[in-house]
Amino acid sequence: MLSAKIIEHILKAASISRWNDYPKMVSLVELDKQAHKFIIAYFIAKLENDVDMNYIIEAGIFEFLSRVVVTDIRPDVFRHIQRTKKQQVNGWILTKLEPIFSNMNDSEFFAGLRRYLLDDDSTHKKERLILKAASYLATRWEFGIVYQTSQFLSGIDELKAKVDEELEDYYELIGVRKIAMNQKLARLVDLSGRLRFQKRWAQTPRIPETAVLGHMLVVAILSYFYSLAVGACKKRLENNFFCALFHDLPESLTRDIISPVKYGVDGLNEIINEYEMRLIDERILPFVPESFRAEFSYILGISESGGRLVKDEFENRTYQRTSMRHDGTMDNVNEDKFNAIDGKALKYCDKFAAYIEAGLSISYGVKSNELESGFKNMYEFFQKNPRIEGVDFFKIVNDFDDYFKINVNKNS
């Protein structure tokens, strides 16, 4: 499905600091910015007509992978270089990325990356504009933080004027106008952005630190490569990606409650879930445009059971007129008309993302009993449940361990 080299490249973004030449009250990293960009792009795209969501996903991943390569170049400098030396710079980026993807089974992915960087695509102008607008809005949201601690610096108000001025370039997009006017959609942008302040594995030291927001994108990218591996149809791939991307959105309201707490007290998990559903119903869904609110609820894993709403994003399901659980192989519903989501496989992606987070820190020598225990437990899960829909996650786990020389999970 994907190699440890690709995983390493993706997680580099968690260590790439943004706004390095400005004082900041919190750490701002590239992984979180890219996650926020994808979330904003989703909401903007869903308010437009005839948008290819698969292109939004694929092109967004291409841009993310490329940005990690050129991280040392300031965004304004990079944009200037792109205007004058675009082909040369993109060609250089490809030479850096090609060795990372050389052993990937799906050669079409890298071919698509090459086409995206080197060819002028006139057929997806709107999708590219949406990604550009989403990137700008995510940066603008960050700048709101930076500005608070940088007002004593000369030139900061000039920079603020330039940031605000760029907004006008995207006014043709309905979603941008709604966000700019601080309407309901702006509440969702703000709510999702706040997930960068919630740290994963908050009770143990870890390198690199990752936020819930960045974790959501890692799971989404893993789901994308999983979907390629199983030959998912377009709608199934789209649903898998965005279900993974939004799977922890309610934690912006409840915070990340670790499993030992959630399941350690009998009945506590049910109480938490019920409260979470109430908050979703009151503080998320009302701000989603009505035109795709039902679809977004489905993406979140919300369905009706016994006359009440329940949430389970990690169940296989299809959606035609009503959401239904699907217990057989997802190959049987691999057509756009079924609107399928591989919920159980997304759970594997979520667990593997946590495995990566713990494993990287252990490989760097920063570990605790809790981190090692969690890492071993997840290894045992994949050992006992190696495959789902034909994808061998246990093989990927062992490839990851071998690449980073991690032995803590090996049975003695």
Tell me the pLDDT band of 77, cut-offs 50, 70 and 90: confident
| Mean pLDDT, the chain, integer | 90
**Contact (Cβ atoms closer than 8 angstroms) between residue 375 and residue 331:** no
Residue 409 has pLDDT above 60, yes or no: no
Domain spanning 4-195+209-217 has what CATH number?
A: 1.10.3210.10
Residue 263 has pLDDT above 50, yes or no: no
Residue 256 has pLDDT above 50, yes or no: yes
Check residue 65 and give its pLDDT.
96
Check residue 265 and give its pLDDT.
53
Tell me the pLDDT band of 412, cut-offs 50, 70 and 90: very low
Residue with the bigger pLDDT between 263 and 126: it is 126
Question: What does the pLDDT average to over 58-68?
Answer: 96
Question: What does the pLDDT average to over 358-362?
Answer: 96
Largest CA distance in the chain: 63
Q: What is the pTM of this model?
A: 0.93
The domain segmentation of the chain, as residue ranges, is 4-195+209-217
What residues contact residue 76 under an 8 Å CB cut-off, 6+ apart?
none
User: pLDDT tens, 108-162?
Assistant: 899 999 999 998 777 899 999 999 999 999 999 999 999 999 999 999 999 999 9
- Between CA 57 and CA 266 the distance in angstroms is 40
Question: What does the pLDDT average to over 229-249?
Answer: 97
User: pLDDT tens, 172-225?
Assistant: 999 999 999 988 999 999 999 999 999 999 889 999 999 999 999 999 999 999
CB atoms within 10 A of CB 158: 9
